Chains A and B, each alone.
Chain A
Amino acid sequence: MSHFGPATAERARELVSLYPEPRSALIPLCHLAQEQDGWLRPEAMDEIADLLGITPAEVRGTATFYDMLHTEPVGRYLVSICTNIACLLGGADALLEHAESRLGVRPGGTTADGLFTLEEAECLADCDRTPCVTVNHRYVGGLDAGAFDRLLDELRGGRRDDEIPPHGTLVRVRRNGRLRVATEQVARERAAAAEARAARAEAAQARAADNQAAPGGKAQG
């Protein structure tokens, strides 16, 4: 009764295999679930918990910490408008206001047709093109009101679909294969390192004991 389809499940197993501890795959798996469903459904969080050997509450508790992981449905296009310092100086407040009236929603809201979710974003690190706007995390340049309206038209008409996949698809390039360094080699190195550390700790302890046994020894040394 897998919530993930066969292809998604296969990719999930690949992701888990990249990390020394399964739980490290939590965020990548949440992105994967959003790619399948458009948002992070409770069923997906249950399945991720199973894959990682943790509880659904731990998945949810972690996922809700991160802005990009949506535990409520979002529109096909997540329109993010940055209003942080560089964009503020570039007129972002006016653009956000314009976007609100054009889309008829406040930040956080989704249009009735399910097409757009508007978001007031923090700095998106593209500060030489302000006000910075992204759609599904793809940069669409610094926009004025007219350019913003044209963007909405293009998105509605599906004319930007090659460049901007539906919300949830973050990375369209897949890693080519699994880890290459033999796990036995990694394990051998780890064991040797742990042994070296333990030996050093033991030696340090012995030195400390010696110093205690011979008061003033440290000062003389």
Chain B
Amino acid sequence: MAVTDAPRIVTSRLRFDDSYTIGRYLATGGYEGLRKALGMTPEAVAAEVDAASLLGRGGAGFPAGRKWSMLRKDPVTYLVINGDESEPATFKDHLLIERDPHQLLEGVLIAAYALQVTQAFIYVRGEFALGLERLTSALNEAYDHGAVGADIFGSGFSVDVVVHPGAGAYICGEETALLESLEGKRGFPRIKPPFFPAAIGLYGQPTVVNNVETMSNLPWIVLHGGKAFAELGGGRSAGTRLFALAGHVKRPGTYEVEMVKTTFRDLVYAPVYGGGVSGGRAVKAFIPGGVSAPWFGPEHLDLPLGQDEVGNAGSMLGSGAITVMDSSTCAVRAAWRITKFFARESCGQCTPCREGAGWLERVLRRIEFGGGREDDLELLLDVSDNIAPGLQWPPQQTTICVLGPSIPSSIHSAIAMFRDEFLVHVKEGGCPVA
């Protein structure tokens, strides 16, 4: 089955040009989920989210309900929303912030009520100028509507929300780096443990950090019940999810699809989704979950879009970004560009990442531009092995955060899948495909 008839949970309003206004939002059931939640106990709201089995939509895929329940024992002080979407080829939170900011706000308010926090921060990637404007307007409208602030909707519950702009740093998507950034510091990830900022978060206080898409699912879950959400999808991957499809497809875009029941092939080829490979060429390889993920070949196209299904096959759904590379793609150039990205974005705290990324980038560059040596392939793998020992998946950790161990993914994949192509670059000084 290529396309299921699952409801659109987070993209139902996107067909309207004015989807971001409070007028459209209220006309399409907006803030009803919040009103319903305010009539329930906070514990009952949290229980619905738990029942939904909603996996966090940021990249790590940790169950949102469990993230909250870690804090049941301790009162939470802050709720922080991660809207710093910057994993390359990921463009779904961008869409949700720009096109349905009220839905995001409503989700944040529901979470704030469930966790009983009086202050929430939405950290939005600085480059999203229009998104920041739309979200700020929406917040102003929501305050005027009585949905945010003191005694919201007359419920006795009070909460303030602050929209906080980032300033351009990939690493701030890592949740402890995001908290440092929100404290007005450089985005340096914090040493673990604690593995979650639950115990020691913003200003050292208990903090929940959730992703934009995760929050945007909450109004629907509260209105329709966690069970209805959990009935969609399959296995541990419940509900629908946004997939950002890019690269060599006829119809790149962000699509909401039912998890597990849909496959990569469906997403790439179904006329309502990708519509096939551009130019009618063959899929050479695809990246299933952002550039931190190992690549897949065409033999993996029939894998279902499920977190465990993709994890067991040796990669990850990660940020939900699927990038298709057709037969005209130079594997060396693709791996080089991705590595250049990591080299630029390494925060510089840990040696394996800071030094390793730079060396890998330079070696790949010389191969791409005709100065490579035959033992460069082993050199690349050796340096990669120093960053993530054993080059296994999931990678071993030698650094404070997962940026470092993500660097080898594309290099290891490209060499394993297209070694001959690397060798032609080295021996002939040019590319056999591009």
* Residues of A near any B CB (own CB < 8 A): 18-21, 23-28, 30-31, 52, 61-63, 65-69, 83-86, 88-90, 122-128, 130, 134, 136-139, 170-177, 179-182, 185-186, 189-190, 192-193, 196-197, 200
Check A182–B333 contact: CB distance below 8 A: no
B280: CB under 8 A from chain A? Answer: no
Output the nearest chain A residue to B129 by Cβ-Cβ distance: A137
Interface string of B147-166 (1 = CB under 8 A from A): 01110000000111011111
Chain A, interface SS category: loop
Check B168–A66 contact: CB distance below 8 A: yes
B130: CB under 8 A from chain A? Answer: yes
Given contacts A170-B126, A172-B133, A173-B140, contact A65 B291 (CB under 8 A): no
Check A27–B132 contact: CB distance below 8 A: no
Highest count of chain B CB atoms <10 Å: which of A62, A88, A186: A88
Given contacts A85-B88, A89-B247, A170-B165, contact A127 B129 (CB under 8 A): no
Residues of A within 8 A of B149 (CB): 180-181
9-residue interface stretch from B89-97, B234-242, B263-271, B379-387: B89-97
Given contacts A85-B247, A176-B144, contact A52 B184 (CB under 8 A): yes
Given contacts A84-B337, A86-B88, contact A27 B323 (CB under 8 A): no
Q: How far is the CB of B111 from chain A (nearest CB, A)?
A: 16
- Give chain B interface residues in 242-267, CB to chain A under 8 Å: 244-248, 252-254
Residues of A within 8 A of B144 (CB): 176
Interface string of B329-354 (1 = CB under 8 A from A): 10001100110010011010000000
Check A130–B119 contact: CB distance below 8 A: no
How distant is the Cα of A40 from the Cα of B88 in the complex, in angstroms? 27
Check B150–A181 contact: CB distance below 8 A: yes
B15: CB under 8 A from chain A? Answer: no
Can you give 16 A-B contacts (C-beta < 8 A)?
A31-B126, A31-B167, A63-B167, A66-B126, A68-B168, A84-B337, A85-B291, A85-B334, A85-B337, A85-B338, A88-B333, A127-B321, A138-B129, A176-B144, A180-B158, A181-B159
Q: How far is the CB of B122 from chain A (nearest CB, A)?
A: 12
